[in-house]
Amino acid sequence: MKAASGGELEDEIDEFKASWKKNNLAHGADEPFPDYVVDIGMKIKNFMLPENRIYQGALGNAKGMLEALTRYADLSTIIDSAKFYDNIGVITDFLLKVRLTSQVPLNTSYFILQKLGKLNPPTMLVDDLKVALRAECKHHLDNYDTAREKIGKHMGARIIDRCEEYEQPKITIGTHCHSGAVINAIINARDKVQQVVVTKTEPEQQGMLTAKQLCEAGIKVKLIALEQYGVEFRRVNMFLFGIDAVSIEGIVLNKSGTRMIATLAKTKDLPVYFLGETYKYARGTLYGGLVKTERRDVTDSLISNRQGIDLRKFIDSGLLDTNFTAFDTTKADLYNSIVSEQGFMPMHDAFEREWRSYF
């Protein structure tokens, strides 16, 4: 399924407005439509624009959702707590359709609605419900950082262990695309890192952010095209990748190209680790659902070239296809472990341990 983009997002906005109106009528209220939620949704969709970078990645998407919910708590003037609670669901339903692969906002919204639902909203004063919503939003906003710090410490210790195992003072690490969890882990063990091999990651070039942040931390980087990994992987001692989603079977969804590198690493028995918060667990796969894979319109980036070749006419004629699949899947037999804030264990087990109080 495609993520909402262009005209498709316009359809989602129309559905959002219809749901908002329907909820107003059901509760006999007339609350103004929250245009600021649509604005945040558009920024999440267009995360690659420099001014929208704070909304990049699954955590960035989720932070945008928390921003929208907190603003709703601040601006809402209704006194019907049941309607207020229902509108939280309407807002999150819209924002979740903007980026289909983002498990963090999906799980975060689930946790928020679970926590507030246990309070029995219809029996509460709306001001008390607003306080509870703000507190839950702040909890998750803080917990994103806490979880990432824990992952960094867990993986940092493993990097040190690998140095001892290889009897080397420092090792070279390979990665792909951009992951805050991976960057944090590498920084945690910087004294044991000789160099990090980073892919530029075409066509959106998120790897440039990884290279920049590691260099700013004083860590040496080898920036390469994905095609170079066939040669460069022989210098790499271990691979660290981020996570977009993990299924019940342990299949990891991540940036396209990840599976190819992991397969290559397996031929030389090189360790591969996937790093991500338990928010990345795809709960729906427990009941037979599939993780939605995102396709983006990146035609302009794909056909841009220094040869001066204009390919647009071939796209218009149907001869050239530029449909872009942003993610691929890696099965458990191609990696050593998933690393979450709960440590080195299957994501399903880590998720249940981390969030048992919400079930």
Q: Are residues 350 and 208 in the same domain?
A: yes
Residues 85 and 181 in one domain: no
Q: What pLDDT does residue 5 have?
A: 45
Could you tell me if 296 and 240 lie in one domain? yes
Is 120 in the same domain as 214? no
* Domain assignment present for 1: no
Say if residue 213 is in the same domain as residue 80.
no
What is the pTM assigned to this prediction?
Answer: 0.89
3-state secondary structure the chain: CCCCCCHHHHHHHHHHHHHHHHHHHHCCCCCCCCHHHHHHHHHHHCCCCHHHHHHCHHHHHHHHHHHHHHHHHHHCCCCCHHHHHHHHHHHHHHHHCCCCCCHHHHHHHHHHHHHHHCCCHHHCCHHHHHHHHHHHHHHHHHHHHHHHHHHHHHHHHHHHHHHHHHCCCCEEEEECCCCHHHHHHHHHCHHHEEEEEEECCCCCCCHHHHHHHHHHCCCCEEEECHHHHHHHHHHCCEEEECCCEECCCCCEEEECCHHHHHHHHHHCCCCEEEECCHHHECHHHHHCCCCCCCEECCHHHHHCCCCCCCCHHHHHHCCCCCCEECEEEECHHHCCEEEECCEECCHHHHHHHHHHHHC
Q: How much is the pLDDT for 6? A: 44
Q: What is the pLDDT of residue 101?
A: 64
Domain CATH code at residue 201: 3.40.50.10470
34: domain CATH number?
1.20.120
Domain containing residue 20: 7-124
- Please report, in tens digits, the pLDDT of each residue of the chain (359 residues total): 344 444 458 889 999 999 999 988 887 777 899 999 999 999 998 887 889 888 888 889 999 999 999 999 999 988 999 999 999 999 999 999 887 668 999 999 999 999 999 999 999 999 999 999 999 999 999 999 999 999 999 999 999 999 999 999 999 999 999 999 999 999 999 999 999 999 999 888 999 999 999 999 999 999 999 999 989 988 999 999 999 999 999 999 999 999 999 999 999 999 999 999 999 999 988 777 667 666 667 888 889 889 999 999 999 999 999 988 889 999 999 999 999 999 999 999 999 999 999 98
- pLDDT, position 8: 59
Domain membership of residue 252 (yes or no) is yes
Report CA dihedral (46, 47, 53, 57) to the nearest 10 degrees: 170
Count the domains in the chain.
2
> What does the pLDDT read at residue 295?
64
pLDDT value of residue 2:
42
Same domain, 252 and 333: yes
> Do residue 243 and residue 95 come from a single domain?
no
> Same domain for 112 and 175?
no
